[in-house]
């Protein structure tokens, strides 16, 4: 699991809220910093893959643990 600089808990939120909150959090972060996101929406897996491609931010890791989806995104 990568080290991270900031965490966003988007548990209980459905699409598109986890993406919108992540976008807002990343906007306030410096380039190269890592955001850890926790989501419970199964659709967030594909959403964050697409989000990373569209924004140029790097999806470092995507895992699932007991119904929680954890993403590590590096700010471009």
CATH number of 6-74: 3.30.110.40
Would you call 23 helix, strand, or coil by DSSP? helix
- Cα 23 to chain centroid, rounded: 8
Each of the 76 residues of the chain gets a pLDDT tens digit; together they read 789 999 999 999 998 999 999 999 999 999 999 999 999 999 999 999 999 999 999 999 999 999 999 999 999 9
pTM: 0.95
Cβ within 8 Å of residue 24, ≥6 positions away: none
Which residues are part of the catalytic machinery? 15
């Amino acid at each position: 699991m990568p080290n991270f600089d900031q965490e966003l808990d988007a548990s209980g939120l459905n699409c598109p809220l986890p993406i919108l909150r992540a976008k807002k959090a990343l906007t306030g972060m410096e380039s190269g910093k890592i955001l850890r996101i926790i989501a419970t929406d199964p659709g967030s897996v594909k959403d964050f893959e697409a989000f990373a491609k569209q924004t140029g931010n790097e999806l470092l890791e995507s895992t699932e643990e007991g119904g929680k989806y954890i993403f590590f995104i590096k700010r471009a």
